[in-house]
Amino acid sequence: MSERKVLNKYYPPDFDPAKIPELKLPKDRQYVVRLMAPFNMRCKTCGEYIYKGKKFNARKETVQNESYLGLPIFRFYIKCTRCLAEITFKTDPENTDYTMEHGATRNFQAEKLLEEEEKRMQKEREEEELNNPMKVLENRTKDSKLEMEVLENLQELKELNQRQANVDFEAMLKQYKELEEEQRRKEQEEDEQEMKAMLEQAQNRRLLVDSDSDEDPAQARPKPRAQTKPTDILQEVRGAQPALPFPSPAALAWRSVCPLCPSLGDTRLVSRLSSSQRPSALG
């Protein structure tokens, strides 16, 4: 066992590597390898499905006269699990994939085929446009047309969906009922207000008529109908300076203090004085 671990290898002085005979092996030599099916396939002979990941003892060989950017391409031989027919597939370094070669068909490739088709069409179009500026314009108009069509279709679909949309009749009815009730309430309130206003007016008129018949018109209360603003009454009072029938408390107080006005009868002057003094005192 000790010679296995030897570290220094002795080469005799007459050693010539060129003299070592070459191992003669055919280039298309096959090796047995263990592999898994790289995609779903169906045997052409018996129709058996072979799923992706199924393990096989396969033979592997290098494909002659074929390479991608200097990379060798390998071919694998497997046998159908039911009928033992030979199935072969190759590596595809260009698409980082495998290609079915013989004995079976590849399944679930619709997406890949579609992608390939799209790619091909795009390439074709680019080539066409490269040489023909008119074609560019044509393609652009075609594109915009297509876009419009797509939008229209989308709108149509949306409308269709709306037509088929679920309608919540209960909620709709409830909402409508609430709205109706609110409107009714509002109307009622308005009616009440109107009625109140009318009643008030009628009452005022009656008061007016009463005062006309009994008392002096100057002493009557100002007509409520003429009042549009509550502040109007102030203006009226200021302008008219109505005679006070009785001395105001301020006037009485003034009279008790003032020595110049001993007469009890001249209340008007005092009241006028007090009223003229009031604003300045306030201001």
83 annotated binding-site participant:
yes
Tokens read off for 62: 């290098």
Site residue total, Zn ion (CB under 5 A): 8
For helices 133-164 and 110-131, angle between their N-to-C axes, nearest 10 degrees: 140
Least separation, in Å, of the C-beta of 86 and Zn ion? 10
Residue 43 touching Zn ion (CB under 5 A): yes
Helices (H), the chain: 110-131, 133-164, 169-214, 232-240, 249-257, 267-282
> Cβ closer to Zn ion: 83 or 202?
83
46 annotated binding-site participant:
yes
> Cβ closer to Zn ion: 48 or 129?
48
Binding-site string for Zn ion from residue 76 to residue 115, where x marks contact by CB under 5 A and - marks none: ----x-xx-x------------------------------
> Cβ closer to Zn ion: 41 or 80?
80
- Which pairs count as long-range contacts for 101-109, CB under 8 Å and 24+ apart, including other chains? 101/75, 103/43, 103/44, 103/45, 104/41, 104/42, 104/43, 104/44, 104/50, 104/80, 105/41, 105/42, 105/44, 106/39, 106/40, 106/41, 107/39, 107/40, 107/41, 107/42, 107/49, 108/39, 108/40
68 φ, ψ (degrees, to nearest 5): -120, 115
Among 36, 46, 199, 240, binds Zn ion (CB under 5 A): 46
With a CB cutoff of 8 Å and minimum separation 6, the contacts of 97 are 38
> Cβ closer to Zn ion: 53 or 242?
53
Contact window for Zn ion (CB under 5 A) among 40-48, 169-177, 183-191, 198-206: 40-48
Contact window for Zn ion (CB under 5 A) among 43-51, 160-168, 177-185, 218-226: 43-51
Least separation, in Å, of the C-beta of 23 and Zn ion? 37
Least separation, in Å, of the C-beta of 24 and Zn ion? 37
43 annotated binding-site participant:
yes
80 annotated binding-site participant:
yes
Q: In a 3-state reduction of DSSP, which class is residue 106?
A: strand
Q: Which residues are near Zn ion by CB under 5 A?
A: 43, 45-46, 48, 80, 82-83, 85
